[in-house]
Amino acid sequence: MKRVLFVIIGLAIIIAGGILLGVGIKKMAKTEVTEKVYDITEEFNNITVDVDTTDLYFKKSTDGNTKVVCTDLDKLHHEVSVSDGTLVVKSVDERHWYEMIFNYRSLKITVYLSNEAFSNLNIKSSTGDIEFSDEFTFDSVKIKLSTGDVDAKIKVNNEFEVEVSTGNIKLHEASAKSLKLKSSTGRINLENVDVTNDVDITSSTGKIILTNLRSENLRASASTGHVTLKDTIINGNIIIKTSTGDVKFDGSDGIEIHVSTTTGDVTGTILSSKIFFANSDTGKINVPHLTEGGICEVETDTGDIILNVK
């Protein structure tokens, strides 16, 4: 008797779940995307964005007016306001859990800015890309994103921090006083970037590609991703650590170079004379035997070490 009762209860739960899923599908099928335009007339120096499932674009205004254009759903919309000199954009999610399952629509926010310089920019987003299609200047920038790509060519007077769980980070024609980038599974790509102080980059499985980077010191860490330095000049120290990823120097240099890998190869060309200290348990070693210059220390367990001075 108890077994029959449990079966009946189980069937009831399955039927109820099916009804809720059907309701969710039906509601999402009826939900339409609408567009809302917020004209911003108040003055502001700071920008704060806190959104959920939304692509975010920053563009220069073509008519001299600042506005925010949002696409919304019935129960997932955005609020835009100016408070204490800060432009605030945030998501308001009133959906039930079953409605979230079937929310496959991509929403978008475009911020059209009439000015080019601002104080602080803070962005927090769950899922969506962040793109700066025009050049802006900020005193500080902090971006935290779960799933999505960041593409920017902005100038930052002080700290520039970007953290992405699953997504790529691309900075080009950009500058900052200090730069800190972190990505779990995405690629980190810097091209023509000037940093006054230090650059700190961490990636788990994605590649780190640095082209024409200038900074005081560079620290790069990757688990399985490769690290490539091309035409990159560091005024101080280069410190690179990987587990299985290769490290390649292509016409790049620093005062001192320290590289540590487990199974990755370390290869390429540096630009100035170095005193080499190279060690590999089972890999091949081929480095110049020089007695002048800064220290170039390379250590790997099973990888090859093949470096030359241009």
Q: Which of 268, 309, 261 is nearest to 282 (CA)?
A: 261
Indicate whether 206 and 233 sit together in one domain. yes
pLDDT for 18 equals: 54
Q: Which of 125, 141, 265 is nearest to 195 (CA)?
A: 141
* Total number of domains constituting the chain: 3
| pTM for the structure as a whole | 0.86
151 occurs within a structural domain: no
pLDDT for 29 equals: 46
Question: 115, 135, 155: which is the final residue of a domain?
Answer: 135
266 occurs within a structural domain: yes
Query: What is d(CA 60, CA 67) in angstroms, rounded to the nearest whole number?
Result: 10
16 pLDDT higher than 70: no
Q: Which of 146, 138, 145 is nearest to 121 (CA)?
A: 138
Using an 8 Å Cβ cutoff, are 221 and 238 in contact? no
More confident residue, 184 or 122: 122
Task: Output the domain CATH number for residue 65.
Answer: 2.160.20.120
pLDDT tens profile 205-236: 889 999 999 999 999 999 888 999 999 999 99
Query: What is d(CA 68, CA 156) in angstroms, rounded to the nearest whole number?
Result: 22
Question: 114, 135, 156: which is the final residue of a domain?
Answer: 135
Using an 8 Å Cβ cutoff, are 113 and 121 in contact? no
pLDDT for 82 equals: 97
Domain containing 16 equals 1-30
For the purposes of burial, counting CB atoms within 10 Å of the CB of 100, is it exposed (0-12), middle (13-18) or buried (19 or more)? middle
Indicate whether 128 and 188 sit together in one domain. no
For 223, 239, 265, 282, 300, the CA distances from 262, given in Å and listed in that order, are 10, 15, 9, 11, 5
The contacts of residue 171 (CB under 8 Å, 6+ apart) are 152, 153, 179, 181, 189, 190, 191, 193
299 occurs within a structural domain: yes
Q: Which of 278, 279, 282, 277 is nearest to 302 (CA)?
A: 282
Using an 8 Å Cβ cutoff, are 69 and 124 in contact? no
